[in-house]
Amino acid sequence: MTKQEKIVSMFNDIAPTYDRANRVLSMGVDTFWRRKACDLAFGYCPSEKIDSIVDVACGTGDMMGYWRRQAEKNGVHVSNIEGVDPSEGMVGVGREKFPQMSFYIAPATELPKPDTTADIISISYGIRNVVERQAGLREFNRVLKPGGLVVILEFMKNENPSMLGKVRDWYMNNVLPRIGGLISNNYEAYRYLPDSIEGFLTVAKMKQELEEAGFEMLYSKSFSMDISTLMIARKK
C-alpha cells in the first residue's frame, strides 16, 4: 500500500466520527476560519455570478456548505458547487449531509473536470495530505479559468514559534491525539495530524510552490495562535 493509499484508508476509518471530532478539537473555531476564507475569496472575484466552485479533499462536505451559505450572505450567485475526495467513507457522509450537491471520488492530482472550467478551487486542511503536492497544484491550475482562485486553509509548519505557537504545538502533540483517539477509536489517525504538520511546509515554501505552479499570491494570513493559515492565489 502506498503512502497516499494509507492516508485514504485512515480517512475511511474515521469518517463516521470525523465531524464530531473536528468540532471538539477545534472548539468550533474552524467555523470562523472557513467563513473568513469564503468571504475574502468572494471579495477577489470580479463578478457576483460564479459558474463553478470545486472543493478538493472535500471530506464530509463542510466547506461546500460554507461556500453556499456565505455566497447567500454576500449576494453572490454560484451556479455549481462540487466536492472531490479520494475517500469513499468521507464522501458517503458528505452525500448524506448535502444530498443536493455533487460529489466525486478522485484524487487531487486527477480532478474529474475539463480544462479552464472552475472559478474557484478550495482545499481545506487537505493539501498536507496530497503526497504528490506539486502535481496537485498543477492540476488546480489546469482546471481553473484564467484569473481563477485557489483558496487554501491549512495547518502550516512554524519554524520559529512564538510562546503562543509553542502552546499550540503542545496541544497538537499531547491533547489532540488523545481526544481524537477517544472519539474515533483511532489514536493513530490523530497522531498523524501533528506528525504531518511537523513534516509539512512553512508558509514561505507553500507560497513558492504556488508561484511555481503558475499562481500569483493575493492573500496570506495565519489565525488563532498561528494554528490555521489562509492563502488565496490567482491563476496567472
Give the model confidence (pLDDT) of 30-57 as tens digits.
Answer: 889 999 999 999 999 988 899 999 999 9
* 217/232 Cα distance (integer angstroms): 6
Name which of 49-63, 139-153, 220-234 the model is least confident about. 220-234
Q: How confident is the model at residue 218 (pLDDT cuts 50, 70, 90)?
A: very high
pLDDT, position 22:
77
Look at residue 186 and tell me whether its pLDDT is greater than 70: yes
Sign of the dihedral defined by the CA atoms of residues 157, 62, 96, 114, in that order: negative
> What is the DSSP secondary-structure string of 45-83?
-S-SEEEEEEEET-TTSHHHHHHHHHHHHHT-EEEEEEE
pLDDT, position 207:
95
Number of domains in the chain: 1
Of the chain, the percentage scoring pLDDT greater than 70 comes to 97
Bridge partner list, 52:
80
Query: In 3-state terms, what secondary structure has residue 200?
Result: coil
Q: Which helix (H) or strand (E) holds 207?
A: helix 203-212
Look at residue 225 and tell me whether its pLDDT is greater than 70: no
Long-range contacts of 178-186 (CB under 8 A, 24+ apart): 179/21, 179/24, 179/25, 180/21, 180/25, 183/17, 183/20, 183/21, 183/24, 184/13, 184/14, 184/17, 184/18, 184/21, 185/17, 186/10, 186/13, 186/14
Cβ-contact 144, 44 below 8 angstroms: no
pLDDT, position 157:
77
**Residue 194's CATH number:** 3.40.50.150
124 annotated ligand binder: yes
60 annotated ligand binder: yes
pLDDT, position 51:
97
In the predicted model, what is the mean pLDDT of residues 198-216? 92
pLDDT, position 41:
98
What is the Rg, in whole angstroms, of the alpha carbon atoms belonging to the chain? Answer: 17
Look at residue 150 and tell me whether its pLDDT is greater than 70: yes
pLDDT, position 80:
97
85 annotated ligand binder: yes
In the predicted model, what is the mean pLDDT of residues 119-123? 98
Torsion of CA 49, 52, 58, 60, to 10 degrees: 70
Range of the domain at 29: 3-235
Q: Which residue has the cell 474529474?
A: 112
Look at residue 179 and tell me whether its pLDDT is greater than 90: no
pLDDT, position 200:
81
What's the per-residue H, E or C state across 111-142?
CCCCCCCEEEEEEECCHHHCCCHHHHHHHHHH
64-75 b/e with 16+ CB inside 10 Å = b? bbbbbebbeeee
Look at residue 177 and tell me whether its pLDDT is greater than 70: yes
In the predicted model, what is the mean pLDDT of residues 82-86? 98
